[in-house]
Chain A
Amino acid sequence: MACIEVQDFTYTYPSENAPVVRDVTLSLSCGSFSVLTGRSGSGKSTLGKALAGFLFQDEAPNYQGKIIVNGTDMAAIPLYAASERVAYVQQNPEDQFCTLTVADEIAFGLENKNIDPQEIIRRINASLAIVKGDDLLERDLADLSGGEKQKVAIASMLALLPDVLILDEPTSNLDPEATQNIFDALRHLQESHKMTVIIIEHKLTQLKDFHPELIVLENGKISPIDSIEAFQAMLEQEARELPTVITRDSRAEGHLIQIKNLSVHLGGHQILDDIHLTLKHGEFIAIMGPNGSGKSTLLQTIMGLIKPSSGTIRGFGQDLSKAKTSSLVEKIGFVFQNPDHQLFTNSVYDEAVLTLKNLDMLTPQMESQTRLWLKEMHLDERSDDHPQRLSYGEKRRLNLLAILLHQPKLLLIDEFLIGQDRHNAKRWMGYFRNYADQGHCVLLVNHHMELTQKFCDRIIFVDKGKILVDQMTEEAIPSIVERGFQAFVPQVSMEALYA
């Protein structure tokens, strides 16, 4: 029996001209487990939100076609009624939470529906049990890890007993271990409750065992590809068409940065503990490790944004731990994780040249070079637009361009590949590789082991503020496994390693 029927559905966002989702027709049976995938910007989240009824709340939503869930037209009912049929777990659980504790958050929807307190308590316990989060009941949301927050977000929706659960990239901000935990919780949900589940996801390898129905979106349309193997084969084919990169042993190159005995305390907690590290010209280095292990803090300390409690960071002929950040900008480029936090001006062009202006380096020659780079990054046609109007991928390109134009010697990049499909991710890794090959150094916080293996010279693995592994890539992978972090090394890498 069909639980979800989508009939010729097309949707255009207000103030946009082209539809994001076009002529989508599909049917999903009750109790099925489906994966909705596709490239970044292909319309996956939009289709997910439409299925949950989110897109029909505007005064005049611009859509054609129908979405029927268990016989109900989702466009014809208010959001609270839609939520009784379809629950939608957002990408970032922080965006979804509206209370301060785990129990309050899961109770929130039930209290809104005037459910009896005894029944609320029963459902809180039951939904936490489904996501294997029984131990979270008494906790404050602010104290949870990323994976735990995602479990609570899912539990808060399950408590409402929806017919359908949609999860929008629930693991995009999680390290591989936390990702595996979420997938285990979903497996438990599928096996024990036979709920209709749709997961929007890029990480397909780990979902193969679910034997899901695959829905691939391409430019807003349903693609005829219907198996994970076929989709991955297509991506592999595209990836092969990108230039092949051979990693180099750059240990012979000169030192750029030397870190000794570095420790950082924040809010009474030790975040980094006795870090020793040398960065050299020409290296492309991946920093890996669990969420909250201190990776971002390490980058920000090198940039002078966080002052160390002890230790030294020597580079460019000075002690960087005592230097003002503004004095390091010419030599070090830094990209933060969230693109929205680093767009300050009123036009794409102004944003691209902001760093050059601040460094008094904006010459006519640099201006024309900026125009060329905007074209190279496919941003030239949007150079007068407000940066916040760009798509996620365009914002990422602009973030990078804004710190690259003056060619800093060291690039510090925090989680750049989040939300990028495999094709785009590989393209970015190629850019970073080329930049390092020009004699610069690139330090990238990253969870994508396959691409790291292909592109990076070296892996630094951090856990609980300490460097556990600092080795050339091929040597580092078995060392990471030996230390018990198997989840960070996907099977494909291990097979290649031991072949």
Chain B
Amino acid sequence: MHKLTYQPGASFLHRIYPLTKFFWLILASILIFIINNPYILLVTAGLSMLILFFIFPNVWSVRGFRFVLGTSFMLFILYLLFEKSGRMLLFADYPLLSITSTGLQTGLLVSSRYLSIILFSYFFILTTDPSQLAYALMALGLPYRFGFMLVTALRLAPILEQEGLTIYRAQLVRGVEYDHKGLKKFFLLIQQFLTPLIFVALKRADSLVFSMEGRGFGQYHTRSFRTLSKPTYLDTLMNIGCFLYFSTALLLNFGGLY
């Protein structure tokens, strides 16, 4: 199982400027809520799924992906079975299993909308180096102190995750059993887990402060950047493609496509 995190690669989406992707993630998520035609949303979710499989054939092994698909499917089934208004489509003689046009359309609308938004997020997370996003935001005017909050958090998160695992294992070798002895004991164990974790995290933060300030962090209001990625013709292509797709979707949506 892979974590849901940036996966290095050279696909079209990998080469897009981080802020372009970020802009379209936000805008597309808003548009997905404005569009209320279930068939357009179904096509959007289906296309997104195809692109995702094309870029990451092993996306099945990304943690949480199967759960997302399962949840989407369950949403569809629930609306299909419990929304009974509208024209009867199937199983009219079996009230519990009967399927109506409203049930079908609402099921498609909710599950496709849910799936589309999640898949857009997958595109962004899997193809965007978070530190590049931070550097791009800083170049755009975000104060570098805030930008480096993101960079150092990205740096420390896996280290603290590993330290948390070591502390958990160190507890096990001292005879700790998490699955026994009631709620009070459980909270005591959590406290005993957090004590060393917080201690090592603070110690690291302290060292990091010296390391950063010791190299001039905060000395000036601005800083230079060794390299900064910039939008290219690929970003123009993506902007045109996304603009055309969502304009068409909106036109069809408000033009009435049933």
B167 touches A341 (CB 8 A): yes
**Is B223's CB within 8 Å of the partner chain A?**
yes
Measured between beta carbons, the chain B residues less than 8 angstroms from A54 are 210, 214
Alpha-carbon distance between A108 and B147 when the two chains are bound, in angstroms: 13
Interface 9-mer from A109-117, A128-136, A377-385, A419-427:
A109-117
With contact pairs A341-B167, A341-B200 given, residues A104 and B177 touching in the complex (Cβ less than 8 Å):
no
Measured between beta carbons, the chain A residues less than 8 angstroms from B224 are 110-111, 114-117, 120
Alpha-carbon distance between A284 and B99 when the two chains are bound, in angstroms: 74
A104 touches B174 (CB 8 A): no
Task: State how many angstroms separate the Cβ of B134 from the closest Cβ of chain A.
Answer: 10
Contact of B175 among A57, A326, A340, A343 (CB under 8 A): A326
Alpha-carbon distance between A112 and B213 when the two chains are bound, in angstroms: 9
Chain A, 317-337, CB within 8 A of any chain B CB: 325-326, 329-330, 332-334, 336
Measured between beta carbons, the chain B residues less than 8 angstroms from A332 are 173
Task: State how many angstroms separate the Cβ of A154 from the closest Cβ of chain B.
Answer: 13
Chain B, 221-239, CB within 8 A of any chain A CB: 222-227
B212 touches A98 (CB 8 A): yes
A111 touches B218 (CB 8 A): no
A107 touches B226 (CB 8 A): yes
**Is B11's CB within 8 Å of the partner chain A?**
no
Name A49's closest neighbour in chain B (CB-CB).
Answer: B210
Contact of A52 among B200, B214, B226, B227 (CB under 8 A): B214
| Residue of B154, B159, B211 with most partner-chain A CB within 10 A | B211
A340 touches B199 (CB 8 A): yes
Measured between beta carbons, the chain A residues less than 8 angstroms from B152 are 98
Task: State how many angstroms separate the Cβ of A113 from the closest Cβ of chain B.
Answer: 5
Task: State how many angstroms separate the Cβ of A126 from the closest Cβ of chain B.
Answer: 14
Task: State how many angstroms separate the Cβ of A57 from the closest Cβ of chain B.
Answer: 8
With contact pairs A341-B196, A344-B195 given, residues A83 and B173 touching in the complex (Cβ less than 8 Å):
no
A112 touches B155 (CB 8 A): no
Contact of B204 among A95, A354, A358 (CB under 8 A): A95
**Is A250's CB within 8 Å of the partner chain B?**
no
B176 touches A95 (CB 8 A): no
A300 touches B222 (CB 8 A): no
A104 touches B226 (CB 8 A): yes
B131 touches A100 (CB 8 A): yes
Measured between beta carbons, the chain B residues less than 8 angstroms from A87 are 214
**Is B83's CB within 8 Å of the partner chain A?**
no
B211 touches A96 (CB 8 A): yes
B215 touches A358 (CB 8 A): no
Q: Mark B180-197, 1 if CB is under 8 A from A, else 0.
A: 000000000000110110
B214 touches A108 (CB 8 A): no
Contact of A112 among B131, B200, B204, B217 (CB under 8 A): B217
Measured between beta carbons, the chain B residues less than 8 angstroms from A111 are 223-226
Contact of A80 among B155, B166, B217 (CB under 8 A): B217
Alpha-carbon distance between A100 and B155 when the two chains are bound, in angstroms: 6
Contact of B196 among A141, A160, A329, A343 (CB under 8 A): A343
With contact pairs A52-B214, A83-B215, A341-B170 given, residues A94 and B159 touching in the complex (Cβ less than 8 Å):
yes
Contact of B207 among A95, A110, A157, A355 (CB under 8 A): A95
Measured between beta carbons, the chain A residues less than 8 angstroms from B169 are 300, 305, 325, 336
**Is A338's CB within 8 Å of the partner chain B?**
yes
**Is A342's CB within 8 Å of the partner chain B?**
yes
A104 touches B166 (CB 8 A): no
Name B213's closest neighbour in chain A (CB-CB).
Answer: A79
Measured between beta carbons, the chain B residues less than 8 angstroms from A114 are 220, 222-224
**Is B66's CB within 8 Å of the partner chain A?**
no
Chain B, 134-184, CB within 8 A of any chain A CB: 148, 151-152, 154-155, 158-159, 163, 166-167, 169-177
Alpha-carbon distance between A346 and B196 when the two chains are bound, in angstroms: 11
**Is A467's CB within 8 Å of the partner chain B?**
no
Measured between beta carbons, the chain A residues less than 8 angstroms from B225 are 111, 117
**Is A99's CB within 8 Å of the partner chain B?**
yes
Measured between beta carbons, the chain B residues less than 8 angstroms from A98 are 148, 151-152, 155, 208, 211-212
Chain A interface size range? 35 or more
B173 touches A403 (CB 8 A): yes
Contact of B213 among A80, A115, A330, A402 (CB under 8 A): A80
**Is A246's CB within 8 Å of the partner chain B?**
no
B203 touches A340 (CB 8 A): yes
With contact pairs A95-B211, A100-B151, A305-B169 given, residues A109 and B174 touching in the complex (Cβ less than 8 Å):
no
Alpha-carbon distance between A301 and B195 when the two chains are bound, in angstroms: 26
Alpha-carbon distance between A223 and B154 when the two chains are bound, in angstroms: 44
Measured between beta carbons, the chain A residues less than 8 angstroms from B158 are 142
Alpha-carbon distance between A238 and B228 when the two chains are bound, in angstroms: 58
A83 touches B214 (CB 8 A): yes
Contact of A103 among B159, B199, B226 (CB under 8 A): B226
Task: State how many angstroms separate the Cβ of A456 from the closest Cβ of chain B.
Answer: 23
Alpha-carbon distance between A388 and B222 when the two chains are bound, in angstroms: 39
Name B154's closest neighbour in chain A (CB-CB).
Answer: A100
**Is A156's CB within 8 Å of the partner chain B?**
yes
Alpha-carbon distance between A92 and B214 when the two chains are bound, in angstroms: 16
Measured between beta carbons, the chain B residues less than 8 angstroms from A325 are 169, 172-173
**Is B216's CB within 8 Å of the partner chain A?**
yes
A99 touches B155 (CB 8 A): yes
Measured between beta carbons, the chain B residues less than 8 angstroms from A115 are 224
Measured between beta carbons, the chain B residues less than 8 angstroms from A108 are 212, 215, 217
Contact of A402 among B174, B203, B214, B219 (CB under 8 A): B174
With contact pairs A117-B227, A300-B169, A325-B172 given, residues A88 and B222 touching in the complex (Cβ less than 8 Å):
no
Name A93's closest neighbour in chain B (CB-CB).
Answer: B211
Name A344's closest neighbour in chain B (CB-CB).
Answer: B192
Task: State how many angstroms separate the Cβ of B155 from the closest Cβ of chain A.
Answer: 6
* 5 nearest CB pairs, A to B: A358-B175, A109-B215, A95-B207, A112-B216, A344-B192
Instruction: Please list 18 pairs of residues, one from A and one from B, whose beta carbons are closer than 8 Å in the complex, sorted by A's number.
Output: A80-B216, A80-B218, A83-B215, A90-B211, A99-B131, A100-B131, A101-B131, A111-B224, A112-B218, A112-B219, A112-B220, A113-B216, A114-B220, A115-B224, A329-B175, A334-B173, A344-B193, A344-B195
B residues near A (Cβ < 8 Å) are 131, 148, 151-152, 154-155, 158-159, 163, 166-167, 169-177, 192-193, 195-196, 199-200, 203-204, 207-208, 210-220, 222-227
